[in-house]
Structure 1
Amino acid sequence: MSDLFESFSVSASAMRAQSSRLRHVSENIANVDTPGYHRKLTPFREVLQGGRRSGAVEAAPVQLDDTDLPEVFDPSHPMAGEDGIYLGSNVDLVVEIADAREAQRSYEANLKMFDQARQMTRSLLEILRK
């Protein structure tokens, strides 16, 4: 029975991690045209309980993408230098949309796993009542 409860914890932790990832992806999309904006990355790390692997994950601290910012030529932009160039954002909209879909699909898969464990627990309790 404890394995069923552990599966709740594992799937819930994965849903929290994917939710955090999706939040950062949406921030990246919102800042696609913000000059000087560095893309946020959400790495995951495994949660250890008592020094042993638990199967649960959590979002690690946010990292900034260190890819060079593109130089944009627009002399009319207020941030442009004397040469008419300013640093743009290193956010690629296609990559962000793909990351958002991956996070959404992972969240849905963990939600199904959570629901399956819930149904199994309910069935087990019904059997024990009889």
Structure 2
Amino acid sequence: MDFSNTIGISADGMRVQSARLRVAAENLANKDTTGLTPGSDPYRRKTITFKETLNRETGVAGVKVQRIGQDNSAFETKYDPSNPVADAKGYVKTPNVSTMIEIMDTHEAQHSYEANLNTMQITRSMMTRTINLMK
């Protein structure tokens, strides 16, 4: 019975979902930021991708953050000629962040984190019961 592999895999899952939540929180926090100068680009939405990893010693697959990248979709614009960063036509570029997408990402990260935590708790309970039986 090698419960340490299960705990390690669950810990990997919790680690990457924490990173996913951090990225979504950063995106939401910057949803209304603009560029610094007229016509400049605002905050660009960040994305996160995961990759499978293989522990060569145990032969067990885990997961890690592969990359934190950027969403290259177009910025939206809004007409706000009084804004100091508006271009010559009075338009301000706004971040390519969708509140709904970020909320969905946070919900998925939460559910996955909780599933990994639940797996870890069940594994710990099974370990404790096994040790108690051996006493």
Same fold (TM over 0.5): yes
Give the stretch that moved more between structures: 42-51 or 115-124.
Answer: 42-51
Residue aligning to 1:122: 128
Unmatched 5+ residue regions in structure 2? 35-41
8 Å contact kept, 2:45–2:96:
yes
Change (3 A) 1:67 1:53: farther
- Asked if 1:67 is matched to 2:109, the reply is no
CA distance in 1, matches of 2:91, 2:16: 38
How far 1:60 moved relative to its partner? 1.9
Q: Secondary structure at the match of 2:110?
A: helix
Q: Secondary structure at the match of 1:123?
A: helix
Count of residue correspondences = 128
How far 1:86 moved relative to its partner? 2.2
Unmatched 5+ residue regions in structure 1? none
Residue aligning to 2:119: 113
Residue aligning to 2:98: 92
Residue aligning to 1:28: 27
The root-mean-square deviation of aligned C-alpha atoms, in Å, is 1.5
How far 1:92 moved relative to its partner? 0.3
| Paired letter, 1:64 | Q
8 Å contact kept, 1:44–1:59:
yes
CA distance in 2, matches of 1:93, 1:126: 49
CA distance in 2, matches of 1:121, 1:111: 15
Q: Secondary structure at the match of 1:100?
A: helix
Residue aligning to 2:61: 55
Give the stretch that moved more between structures: 82-91 or 53-62.
Answer: 53-62
8 Å contact kept, 2:55–2:62:
no
TM-score normalized by structure 2?
A: 0.89
CA distance in 2, matches of 1:33, 1:51: 47
Shift >6 Å, 4+ stretches: none
For 1:43, which of 49, 55, 60 is the aligned residue?
49
TM-score normalized by structure 1?
A: 0.92
Q: Please state which structure has a larger fraction of its residues in helix.
A: 1
CA distance in 1, matches of 2:27, 2:87: 25
How far 1:53 moved relative to its partner? 5.7
